[in-house]
């Protein structure tokens, strides 16, 4: 079996190809919008959601070709959320994936439209490439006001407030967890899956989603802007509650270790078929960018 | 048969009910986001897209109950576009449907999320209520970078520039025409429809979409803010090219009359079954708000 790093590179490369294919060419009118959309999606990003989608699909014997659409749909939703999140009225950030953010490069109005059109494209890609209404409903639920967008609203309301760890967890389950969960479950739905396996994959995704966020908070506190490719230390600067600010760095690391172990436990029924999801869990836990 | 005004009121009322049902309750967390979403969608608007969707569905013998989802999906896309369009980085407008715009009432960050979540909800409503992947692809194509969002990018690029009437038409075919067309065709797809009828309905929708815009430009030039429920005279103030600025008011009115006649011609094959679409064409041509 392929080494994890080779598998990861292969999935990242096929995702990049698929995204480049699904995005309208920069030569198509309106060229300025399409150029900005491609700028915001291509040539960067860890592609964590596509990796999770493909790894979950492998468990369920999905044809890899059938996984490109759900993987890219999840990534396009993620990319749109970053573009809108970076806008001055939200996080007001100038750096993303080591490049100027979309609104810095193309202006706020275009960045607004880029995010809007990337969200639309996510549903279009799924609808035109084998996605069922149930899969589209799942993606929509994860992205919408009871998922990711809702999590951002909770985040907005939380700035400067005293949050409990439970409140913080509630926010992250929505803000990042819902889409990560959808990426895993969409991958599973592209193959054959029974209810019990779905339940375990859902539990796995819940743990991995929180793990991702705890590690993010630790990195924001410890890593440098150059390593992250985005502005480091922002959470503290903006007085945003994080796992680190609420728990301290040592306890946040203990929490991450616990989530990592729990995530792997949820994969028990799949045995070696869950190898990639297990490796991805380690990768998410150990990443330093 | 019911009078047009009674039919219109009935469709508007059932659309309002359906939207109120599809929108998350304001009591559901995050309450602030859900309250702002309901504020931006309910209690206003002519519901032109739902009216067109129901009228086209009637022609194709669609069950009215099956039309609520596509009608509301089109209206939710429209509502999201208004919320984002009104933002300071776009049209920077403070009045909509006689009320303060979403960002004036709830702040820019929330308005951004409201628009994002309303778009998601449009796809969710369609996916969860009988929409096929083909219908969802149609809505996505109409809303995205090669439809409505693309039209807004063209609009942005056009401010302060000398546009030909052909350029202006190209912009409007995308900016408002694509979604109006989708509303008509989604209604048809909810029933039984052959290719020739679809082509005629598409032609009708193209004409009605432009008619809608020409009338909008005439109203912006001639009507008062109080009558419109939104800021009048904005186009000239912002040096936006319009049918009135390019053609003059008399020629714009002649253009509207021509589009109105063409739209009705496209309905010829349907005879009396197209009565509501014909009446809607008159309504759109003669409205004064």
Domain that holds residue B88: 4-281
Q: Is A31 on the interface with B (CB under 8 A)?
A: no
In a domain, B288, yes or no: no
| pLDDT tens for each residue of B161-202 | 888 999 899 999 999 999 999 999 999 999 999 999 999 999
| Helices (H) then strands (E): counts for chain A | 16, 2
In a domain, B287, yes or no: no
Work out the minimum CA distance from B135 to partner chain A, whole angstroms: 9
In a domain, B202, yes or no: yes
Residues 102-121 of B with CB under 8 A from A: 107-110, 112-113, 115-117, 119-121
Query: What local confidence, expressed as pLDDT, does residue A76 receive?
Result: 98
In a domain, A288, yes or no: no
Judging contacts by C-beta atoms under 8 Å, the chain A residues touching residue B123 are 123, 136, 140
Q: What is the CATH number of the domain that holds B103?
A: 1.10.600.10
Give the span between the Cα atoms of A81 and B276, in whole angstroms.
41
Q: Is A227 on the interface with B (CB under 8 A)?
A: no
In a domain, B286, yes or no: no
| pLDDT tens for each residue of B73-120 | 999 999 999 999 999 999 999 999 889 999 999 999 999 999 999 999
Work out the minimum CA distance from B81 to partner chain A, whole angstroms: 9
In a domain, A84, yes or no: yes
In a domain, A129, yes or no: yes
Q: Is the pLDDT of residue B238 over 80?
A: no
ipTM score of complex: 0.94
Query: What local confidence, expressed as pLDDT, does residue A270 receive?
Result: 96
- Token digits for A90? 């939200």
Mark yes or no for CB contact A120/B124 under 8 Å. Answer: no
In a domain, B289, yes or no: no
Work out the minimum CA distance from A157 to partner chain B, whole angstroms: 9
Span B136-159, mean pLDDT? 95
Quote the number of domains for chain A: 1
Span A56-73, mean pLDDT? 96
Span A145-149, mean pLDDT? 98
Query: What local confidence, expressed as pLDDT, does residue A227 receive?
Result: 66
Helix H or strand E segment including A117: helix A108-128
Q: Is A160 on the interface with B (CB under 8 A)?
A: no
């Amino acid at each position: 079996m392929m080494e994890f790093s080779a598998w990861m590179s292969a999935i990242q490369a096929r995702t990049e190809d698929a995204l480049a294919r699904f995005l309208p060419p920069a030569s198509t009118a309106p060229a300025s919008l399409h150029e900005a959309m491609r700028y915001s999606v291509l040539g960067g990003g860890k592609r964590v959601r596509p990796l999770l989608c493909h790894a979950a699909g492998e468990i369920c014997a999905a044809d890899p070709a059938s996984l490109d659409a759900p993987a890219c749909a999840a990534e396009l939703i993620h990319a749109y959320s970053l573009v809108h999140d970076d806008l001055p009225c939200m996080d007001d950030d100038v750096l993303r994936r080591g490049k100027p953010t979309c609104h810095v490069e193309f202006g706020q109005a275009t960045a607004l439209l880029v995010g809007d059109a990337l969200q639309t494209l996510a549903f279009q890609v799924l609808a035109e490439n084998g996605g069922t209404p149930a899969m589209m409903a799942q993606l929509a639920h994860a992205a919408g006001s009871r998922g990711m967008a809702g999590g951002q609203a909770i985040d907005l309301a939380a700035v400067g407030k005293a949050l409990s760890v439970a409140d913080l967890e509630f926010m992250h389950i929505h803000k990042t967890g819902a889409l990560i969960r959808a990426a895993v479950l969409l991958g599973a739905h592209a193959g054959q899956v029974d209810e019990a396996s779905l339940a375990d994959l859902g539990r796995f995704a819940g743990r991995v989603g929180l793990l991702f966020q705890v590690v993010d908070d630790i990195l924001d506190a410890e890593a440098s802007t150059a390593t992250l490719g985005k502005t480091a230390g922002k959470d503290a600067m903006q007085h945003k509650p994080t796992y680190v600010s609420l728990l301290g760095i040592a306890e946040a690391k203990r929490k991450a270790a616990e989530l990592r172990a729990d995530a792997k436990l949820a994969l028990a029924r799949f045995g070696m078929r869950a190898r990639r999801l297990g490796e991805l869990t380690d990768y998410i836990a150990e990443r330093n960018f």
